[in-house]
Amino acid sequence: MKAEARTDAVIPAAGVGRRMGSATPKQYLCLAGKSVLERTAEIFLNCDRIRRVVIAINKSDTRFSSLPIASDPRVVVCDGGDSRYLSVISALEHSTAPYVAVHDAARPLLSTRDLETVLDYGERDDDGAILALAMADTVKLGDEGRCLRTVPREKLWRALTPQVFKREILLKALRYADSAGQEITDEASAMELSGYKPRLVEARDPNFKITLPQDLMIARSLFGDKTC
Ligand code: CTP
Ligand code: MG
């Protein structure tokens, strides 16, 4: 970790993992001998362009304090909120860095090269940058389980994380979106509402979000996981 690192990682990890359907929240499920959250946090702890790793956890979390990363001096922990963006706002308020890279706890596959590329773009200007995937499949507009029409996919992207912004600008944009009553599913959507145009940085490596049990199965096989 370089002294001049300008960016904090901000990791929302306060969800309950309803769609995973397991009693243990998905960020604490095992992936190649460690929890998903540790795997994710270590990607940033091992990157010398990251200053601190701020993790928002659920107010009723009893697991975080027993993880080895909990005693790392570069890790800052705070309470999350009732939705992802509220957890992100809380973590941003516990950061002091000029830039932040917001990354879902549930994306433990992020590669160092994709992280470095999105940092290169995000640390460049006020609009920031997000990791994204160009839409590969044919896209349908559906209604009641039937195809209404085919949506041209040339301009469609799937938003991933990390999403890298100037911390103060992002905090202001998230608070504005919140006060406007807008649904905020990622940081870029709040920035767009405030008139910014975050750069789309195409991901080169797998970086899917562990949402359903089959996602964890795929992540485990990519890690060659025989342990859990
Ligand atoms: N998250 C959070 N605070 C919340 C809700 C979600 O910090 N109130 C975090 C999750 O822990 C996860 C990330 O945001 O790392 C992405 O959210 P998602 O994949 O939707 O996780 P969950 O909300 O836990 O899952 P589900 O929607 O299936 O309940
Ligand atoms: Mg959720």
Specify the ligand 1 atom closest to the Cα of 18: 29
Residue 94's φ and ψ, nearest 5 degrees, are -100, 5
For 51, the enclosing helix (H) or strand (E) is strand 50-57
Q: Give residue 46's pLDDT.
A: 98
Ligand 1 binding pocket (C-beta < 6 A) is: 12-19, 27, 56, 80-84, 87, 104-106, 209, 211
Q: What residue owns the CA closest to ligand 1's atom 8?
A: 83
Which of 10, 16, 92 for mutating ligand 1's site (highest number of atoms within 8 Å of CB)? 16
Report the separation in Å between the CA atom of 5 and the middle of ligand 2, taken as the mean of its atom positions.
30
Tell me the ligand closest to 187's alpha carbon.
1
Give the 3-state secondary structure of 159-199.
Answer: EEEEEEEEHHHHHHHHHHHHHCCCCCCCHHHHHHHCCCCCE
The predicted-structure confidence for 5-35, as pLDDT tens digits, reads as follows: 999 999 999 999 999 999 999 999 999 999 9
Report the separation in Å between the CA atom of 161 and the middle of ligand 1, taken as the mean of its atom positions.
13
Tell me the ligand closest to 213's alpha carbon.
1
Percent of the chain as helix, strand, coil, to the nearest 5: 30, 25, 40
DSSP helix/strand/coil, 49: coil
Report the separation in Å between the CA atom of 155 and the middle of ligand 1, taken as the mean of its atom positions.
27
Distance separating alpha carbons of residues 77 and 110, to the nearest angstrom: 21
Q: What residue owns the CA closest to ligand 1's atom 13?
A: 104
* Residue 213 CB neighbour total at 10 angstroms: 13
225 has a pLDDT exceeding 80: no
Q: Give residue 208's pLDDT.
A: 98
Tell me the ligand closest to 16's alpha carbon.
1
Query: Residue 75's pLDDT band (boundaries 50, 70, 90)?
Result: very high
Instruction: Report pTM.
Output: 0.97
Query: What is the per-residue DSSP string for 118-137?
Result: HHHHHTTSTT-EEEEEE--S
Share of the chain above pLDDT 70, in %: 99
The amino acid at residue 6 is R
The predicted-structure confidence for 114-136, as pLDDT tens digits, reads as follows: 999 999 999 999 999 999 999 99
Report the separation in Å between the CA atom of 82 and the middle of ligand 1, taken as the mean of its atom positions.
10
Distance separating alpha carbons of residues 160 and 9, to the nearest angstrom: 15
226 has a pLDDT exceeding 80: no
Q: Give residue 146's pLDDT.
A: 98
